[in-house]
Amino acid sequence: MTRLDEALRFHETALRLRSQRQAVLASNIANADTPHYKARDMDFSRAMKMAMSGSGMSNSQTIVQERVQGVTQHRDGNTVNVDQERAEFTDNALRYEAGVRMVNSQIKGLLSVLQG
């Protein structure tokens, strides 16, 4: 069964990492008014590389880091730009849906092969 697992592993990893990133982006939106909260993001391509290279569980401490580009600090120490976070959230949600579609079409491909 490992061959079948391998076929789906790439997209399954992508979906898992996308949903983790969704949680990080949702935290940023939820903490848009919290003083001294620093906006965080996940480097998705690095996380995918680490997960696919088989180095075990990706260490989430190194992947989720403070956002540094284009960040303006508000007077209360908060660095969340709600519009940017909403855009990233929508972008990530769309890519998640794309991943779901791809898993579906892969499964359909596998099924059509199995059914001859």
Partner 1 sequence: MSLFNVFHIASSAMSAQSQRLNVVASNIANAESTDSANGKAYRARQVELMATDLGKSGGAGVKVARVIEGSDAGRQVYNPAHPKADEKGYVTMPNVNVVEEMVNMLSASKAYQTNVDTLNAAKSMLNHTLTIGQ
Summarize as ranges the residues that interact with partner 1 (CB under 8 A): 15-16, 19-20, 22-24, 26-27, 29-35, 37, 40, 42, 60-61, 63-64, 82, 86, 89-90, 93, 96-97, 100, 103-104, 107
The smaller minimum CB distance to partner 1, of residues 52 and 76, is found at 76
Q: Which residues contact 113 (CB under 8 A, 6 or more apart)?
A: none
Q: DSSP class of residue 31?
A: T
Q: Do the Cβ atoms of 22 and 92 come closer than 8 Å?
A: yes
Q: Which is nearer to partner 1, 13 or 31 (CB)?
A: 31
CB of 47 vs partner 1, minimal distance in Å: 11
Please say which residue, 37 or 50, places its beta carbon nearer to partner 1: 37
Minimum distance, C-beta of residue 40 to partner 1, in the bound complex (Å): 7
CB neighbour class for 74 (10 Å; exposed up to 12, middle 13-18, buried from 19): middle
Give the residue with the Cβ less far from partner 1, 24 or 51.
24
Q: Are 95 and 15 in contact (CB under 8 A)?
A: no
- C-alpha 112/C-alpha 116 separation (Å) is 6
Least Cβ distance, residue 99 to partner 1 (angstroms): 9
